[in-house]
Structure 1
Amino acid sequence: MIQNAQEFFFELKNQGEGNGCVPDKLTLTILIRNLEKVGEGELVEVVKKDCVEYVGCPEKFLEEVGRKFPKRKSVGLV
């Protein structure tokens, strides 16, 4: 599914600019949260960088995403 998400995101970015279909806050939030869950840190950073193009106040948006959906730490059983 990671491959599909990555392809969808890049397709949306590449095709969407000409026809007004670009990633919105919901799409970006879903991508960031789920990519973080599966440990795709590099791809998360790409999506976060791209927020500058699609979100009015990217720093505030990313802060809000982090606050509302904090990273979960796995709990190990001893």
Structure 2
Amino acid sequence: MKQFVDAVYEDGIFRPVLPVELPPGERVRVEIDVKPKVDVEKMLSEFQKVYEGFTPAEIEELEKVILDRSNFSRRELDL
């Protein structure tokens, strides 16, 4: 059986984030895939640059278009 389990490494032990249904003592193979750390301050700084150079009126108009879900059609294109 193969399943993927998110875990946190603490004090030399991998602790699953969610419960895992395995009998005590069961041997498993662990593959390490380190998730990149998110720099929240950097991310916020980058998000703030999205509207850089736009006037408040232009930002308001852009947000109207972005929030109007009718702009995202599920119609099939005739190609």
User: What TM-score results when the alignment is normalised by the length of structure 2?
Assistant: 0.26
TM-score, structure 1 length as denominator?
Answer: 0.26
Pick the structure with more helix per residue: 1
Higher RCO, Cα 8 Å, sep 6+: 1
Bigger fraction of residues in strand: 2
Greater Rg by CA: 2
